[in-house]
Amino acid sequence: MIVNLLDLLVVPTPAIESHSEFTCEPIRLRMCQDLPYNTTFMPNLLNHYDQQTAALAMEPFHPMVNLMCSADLRMFLCALYAPVCTEYGRVSMPCRSLCQQAKDECNKLMEIFGLAWPDDMECSRFPDCDEPYPRPEDLVTSSDPTDQSSMTVQRDYGFWCPRELKVDPDLGYIFMGRKDCSAPCPSMFFNQQELTFTRYFIGVVSIICLSATLFTFLTFLIDVTRFRYPERPIIFYAVCYVMVSLVFFLGFLLEDRVACNAISPSQFRASTITQGSHNKACTLLFMVLYFFTMAGSMWWVILTITWFLAAVPKWGSEAIEKKALLFHAVAWGLPGALTVTLLALNKIEGDGISGVCFIGLYDIDALRWFVLAPLCLNVAVGVSLLLVGIVALNRVRMEIPLEKENQTKLVKFMIRMGVFSVLYLVPLLTVIGCYLYEHTYRNIWETTWMEENCRRYHIPCPYKVEQTSRPVIVLFLIKYLMMLVVGIPSVFWVGSKKTCFEWASFLHGHRHKDGVNESRQVLQEQPDFAQSLLREPNTPVIRKSRGTSTQGTSTHASSTHLAVLDDLDEPVRTHHGHGASTRSKASSVHSKASYHGSLRRIRDDRSDTMVYRGTEQRSFHGSMPRLDHPLSTHSSLHQIDARSRHSSQRDVSEAPPTLITHGTTASDSRVSENDGTSA
């Protein structure tokens, strides 16, 4: 039916090519035959890109022309829909008087047919003159019939949205600078075979990333006390990429059903990319993907901040944990604010390749300010803090003498921190590089696409194209791969024998609670620099754990042997009752007294007296089972108590009297509290 209608409105001329080269073409509109001129150019004054489109737009005026409501109406309509083709660079427009006379004479008849005078034909748009159309100078042609320069319209029309890509005006779509237009779906650059391979590739990688990050999170749930600050942000980082990989997996399952608008043959509309927030499913995918992508980047920055606080000002786990509320506010609040801003700006775009919705796929400004800028800022801040923390830990390792065991632990922790950061930064920097490359060449890709498809869509071809380029599918494969791989390094941090033991215990129905994490223990038990300078060469180092700081600075709460004795309280009470607990606390007091007395003798005369530490530091995996045994606990307590008594008797002349007094449990606790404060 549409074809028959076009045959009635347009004179069929099979031999005439389209207006792709924008030379003057013969007028084929039936209404505009037998005029003083017989050539026109497209696009016309009403932005119709070919004569078929102009014929459809002129159809409502046919009854008025046939009824001859005005003698000037036909000429005025042809001046707009099929203007005369004049010299290069000059467009002839009808006078305002011609427009006004046609409107006044046909206004009543148009009301009868239920028509209104179009806004783009408003008479105020035309020059104020009183001349016929076409003017005599419009009909002047070149004296040389072979010279086509005067008959050719050669100028840059920019991008004209094809009829197939137009959308409803109230949706607010923008494509290549044109409103009410959208990009073709599923892709304007790749063929169907490339798209199919890319989708399956993204689906497989998303499953791998989802499995890895979900394993990290479930390992944390098995023992939530294992990962404390400064390692805790790794867990939230893994949670973010659980959601990111889940969204990409859903995009793989949905294909282009969410990212693309459906075909509408009745309205001559092809499948186009979804934009804005009118598509609820696309909006939901965008919110989850963008929010957790930015939040994952923020949690990595916070991870470097916690490492910095633990390595440089020597904050303890409890002190860092007091700032957890601030960390959560920043890590979730900033991405949330950016997400709400993008929803308000209506910047959502469907990705026909991956099946998800994101930003910056076609809007370069959104890509620049809402993707590249936050990621680059997070990388700069995170790398700076990471380098400062590594330098500080290396200085501790080089300047402060450590026992061989803790030296190994510290080096091991630094290696883990460095490898984890490299595994995160390499994929993220690759993604940023892909975005920058896409940001740089997007305009060239679009110009190339327009040049290749202008004849197909009957739109103006680009003017004087100097450079053409097409994106390669490998670039997009790398981008999607690195967007997902960046979440996998979280497995590196939890991957250890301890994790295997925990999962084995969990699967067998019982859980095993271990002591302090090695990396956190190394950071919190670094020896004080002043103490290291004052000790004798063969004197064992008494390490101090960092306590809670209420002012944002580090405090030294107790020595390592006191922490061990406090841990022994629970098994002693279980097997020996209250008496064993009292002996443990008394032994703790005597051990501290011997430490202070020996330290004073070292300062005074540098004697060769050895300071006994009270008890050996427990190993990470092996100490708990031995302490759980009643006999080993009982014997080790007797040994600690006997040696503490022996040391206290040797130093009785120098130690404060209160430190060697055997009193009640309450007095012991007060003495321990005072001594802990002085330490």
The pLDDT score that the predictor gives to residue 475 is 93
Provide the mean pLDDT of the chain: 74
Confidence grade of residue 549 (pLDDT, cut at 50, 70, 90): very low
Least confident residue range of 438-447, 507-516, 550-559: 550-559
Half-sphere exposure of 413 (CA within 13 A, CB side): 24
Residue 174 vs residue 12, higher pLDDT? 174
Confidence grade of residue 248 (pLDDT, cut at 50, 70, 90): very high
SS3 174: strand
Confidence grade of residue 510 (pLDDT, cut at 50, 70, 90): low
The pLDDT score that the predictor gives to residue 380 is 94
The pLDDT score that the predictor gives to residue 477 is 96
pLDDT digit string, tens, across residues 412-462: 777 877 888 888 999 999 999 999 999 999 999 999 999 899 878 877 778
Distance CA 341, CA 291 (A): 11
Query: How many other CB atoms are found less than 10 A from the CB of residue 71?
Result: 10
Identity of the residue numbered 651? D
Average pLDDT over residues 524-535: 38
Residue for token digits 């190993």?
619
Query: How many other CB atoms are found less than 10 A from the CB of residue 160?
Result: 20
Least confident residue range of 62-66, 88-92, 159-163, 611-615: 611-615
pLDDT at 288 over 70: yes
Average pLDDT over residues 80-108: 84
Half-sphere exposure of 421 (CA within 13 A, CB side): 25
The pLDDT score that the predictor gives to residue 509 is 77
Q: Map out the domains of the chain as residue ranges.
A: 24-141, 186-499
The pLDDT score that the predictor gives to residue 662 is 38
Distance CA 229, CA 234 (A): 10
Residue 576 vs residue 313, higher pLDDT? 313
pLDDT digit string, tens, across residues 140-155: 754 343 333 333 334 5
What are residue 545's DSSP bridge partners? 558
pLDDT digit string, tens, across residues 565-593: 333 333 333 344 344 343 333 444 344 44
Pick from 524, 598, 559: nearest CA to 679? 559
Judge contact between 33 and 62, C-beta under 8 A. Answer: no
Q: Under CATH, which architecture does the 186-499 domain have?
A: Up-down Bundle (1.20)
Helices 51-58, 2-9: axis angle to 10 degrees equals 90
Least confident residue range of 70-84, 241-255, 558-572: 558-572
Identity of the residue numbered 114? G
Residue 208 vs residue 562, higher pLDDT? 208
Q: What are phi and psi of 324, to 5 degrees?
A: -60, -40
Least confident residue range of 221-235, 302-316, 395-409: 395-409
The stretches of 400-515 forming alpha helices (DSSP H) are 404-457, 473-485, 489-494, 497-507
Mark 438-450 as b/e (b = at least 16 C-beta within 10 Å).
bbebbebbbbbbb
The pLDDT score that the predictor gives to residue 10 is 53
pLDDT at 11 over 80: no
Q: Kindly tell me the burial class for residue 108, based on how many C-beta atoms sit within 10 Å of its own C-beta (0-12, 13-18, 19 or more).
A: exposed
SS3 544: strand
Distance CA 309, CA 36 (A): 85
User: Rounded to whole angstroms, what are the CA distances from 474 to 353, 577, 670, 673?
Assistant: 13, 70, 69, 65
pLDDT digit string, tens, across residues 175-189: 998 889 999 998 999
What residues contact 34, with CB distance under 8 A and at least 6 apart? Answer: none
The stretches of 264-372 forming alpha helices (DSSP H) are 280-311, 317-321, 324-345, 364-367
Overall pTM > 0.85: no
pLDDT at 679 over 70: no
Confidence grade of residue 610 (pLDDT, cut at 50, 70, 90): very low
pLDDT at 63 over 50: yes
What are residue 84's DSSP bridge partners? 40
What are residue 181's DSSP bridge partners? 166
Average pLDDT over residues 499-504: 87
Q: Kindly tell me the burial class for residue 225, based on how many C-beta atoms sit within 10 Å of its own C-beta (0-12, 13-18, 19 or more).
A: exposed
Judge contact between 271 and 362, C-beta under 8 A. Answer: no
Identity of the residue numbered 445? W
Structure tokens at 557: 């709460």
What residues contact 218, with CB distance under 8 A and at least 6 apart? Answer: none
Distance CA 49, CA 638 (A): 98
Looking at domain 24-141, does it have CATH number 3.40.50.2300?
Answer: no
* % of the chain residues with pLDDT over 90: 35
Structure tokens at 547: 């306590």
Distance CA 151, CA 328 (A): 68
Structure tokens at 300: 């990595």
DSSP secondary structure code for residue 29 in this structure: B
The pLDDT score that the predictor gives to residue 402 is 59
H or E element at residue 58? helix 51-58
The pLDDT score that the predictor gives to residue 23 is 61
Query: How many other CB atoms are found less than 10 A from the CB of residue 222?
Result: 15
Q: What are phi and psi of 492, to 5 degrees?
A: -60, -35
Least confident residue range of 17-21, 199-203, 265-269, 387-391: 17-21
What residues contact 603, with CB distance under 8 A and at least 6 apart? Answer: 534
What residues contact 663, with CB distance under 8 A and at least 6 apart? Answer: none
